[in-house]
Amino acid sequence: MNWQKKYRWTRTWGDETGLDGKPHEDYVGWDGDVQIGRIYLDQQTLKATQWHWAIQYPKGGKPWQPNSGWEQTASEAAKMVEECWDKQNARLRG
């Protein structure tokens, strides 16, 4: 994949670890100081080993689809969040 991240991504839970002692594979994307969405590695459901992504709506934004989904890698999930965020912002600007 030739995609390059556009926004800043940080661990959702900081240095907190799971029961296995490893840091949570859970991240939040940021456009400046605005949260744009979240990705995390599913380790418990039938989608285990896949990355779940979900967007945050921009201020004034309205719900739309897709607003969440599953991808094979963290990069693919982050890409979906960033692309959806950019599309939502473009819709608001008209």
Q: What is the pLDDT along the chain (94 residues), one digit of tens a residue?
A: 678 999 999 999 888 887 788 888 999 999 999 999 999 999 888 888 999 999 988 777 777 788 999 999 999 999 999 999 998 888 888 7
Q: Is residue 53 part of a domain?
A: yes
Range of the domain at 60: 8-93
Q: What is the pLDDT of residue 13?
A: 84
Q: Is residue 65 part of a domain?
A: yes
Q: Is residue 3 part of a domain?
A: no
Determine if the pTM surpasses 0.85. Answer: yes
Q: Is residue 1 part of a domain?
A: no
Q: Is residue 63 part of a domain?
A: yes
Measure the CA angle with vertex 28, ends 81 and 72; round to 5°: 55
Q: Is residue 49 part of a domain?
A: yes
Q: Is residue 2 part of a domain?
A: no
CA pair distance 40, 94, nearest whole angstrom: 31
> Could you tell me if 12 and 28 are in contact, meaning their C-beta atoms sit under 8 angstroms apart?
yes
Number of domains in the chain: 1
Q: Is residue 87 part of a domain?
A: yes
